[in-house]
Amino acid sequence: MSNTTRTISPTPPPIGADEFHRWVLNHDDLMIIDVREGFEFETQHIRGSHHVPLPLLKEHTAEFAPLMATRVVLVCQSGRRAEEARKKLDAAGLTGARVLAGGVASYAAAGGDIVTGRSTWAMDRQVRMTAGSLVLASVLAGRFIHPQFRLLAGVIGVGLTVSAATNSCTLGRILSWMPWNRPVAEPTKSKILAQLAPHA
């Protein structure tokens, strides 16, 4: 009976903004993959980054991974989506990809080169404004129109609690469908393959 053991590569730690900045300045083989949605990428992104939205990366990991450089840094808004992408790439054989800790904002704060486009609030800010406005409106309506309007504030509170417990955000998904959040078309699989191919 074979006693072969499989070696498991350790998970690469996130890369801090300062170290990442040094990589950008000193490594020609660096590939930056931004996995956010189109409206986020258009608003602000790291110069030279490739836009590969997470859903598309998940669907075509086996095709994208071989075209990525050996020194890959994954970027999103906070690091959560980038970590999801890292796991998918790791399973496809690209084991050394790093996640940028703190996302685009941390790199901007470190003095990195950022391309700024149309000004749109970050999704978490939109969620806070929408939820806060609904709670305020329900409290005022409950005071001046009918007490039952206050129930809306309770419903919103439950929704935010569930969102935190499950690390999901239904309100964020709903807001992402709004016209101001989707001004540009998401890149296609063929477009991404064409962008990544010269670096293979």
Q: How confident is the model at residue 119 (pLDDT cuts 50, 70, 90)?
A: low
Q: End-to-end CA distance of the chain: give it in Å, rounded.
A: 40
The pLDDT score that the predictor gives to residue 185 is 72
DSSP code of 128? H
Prediction pTM value: 0.66
pLDDT > 90? residue 197 = no
Q: Are 139 and 150 in contact (CB under 8 A)?
A: yes
CA distance 34 to 72: 11
CA dist 44 and 5 (Å) reads 45
| Percentage above 90 pLDDT, the chain | 48
Higher-scoring residue by pLDDT: 90, 2? 90
100 class by beta-carbon count within 10 Å (0-12 exposed, 13-18 middle, 19+ buried): buried
The Cα-based distances of 137 to 13, 123, 150, 152, 200 in angstroms read 44, 21, 9, 9, 54
Coil, strand or helix at 28:
coil
At residue 120, the pLDDT reads 67
Per-residue pLDDT reduced to its tens digit, 129-153: 988 898 899 889 888 998 888 888 8
Q: Which residues pair with 46 in a beta bridge?
A: 114
Give strand pairing partners of 98.
73
User: Amino acid identity, residue 43?
Assistant: T
- Among 69, 65, 68, residue whose Cα is nearest residue 91: 65
Report which residue type is found at 175.
L
Question: Mean pLDDT over residues 14-41, rounded?
Answer: 92
Rg (CA), the chain: 20
Q: What mean pLDDT is predicted for residues 52-74?
A: 94
Which pLDDT belongs to residue 1?
46
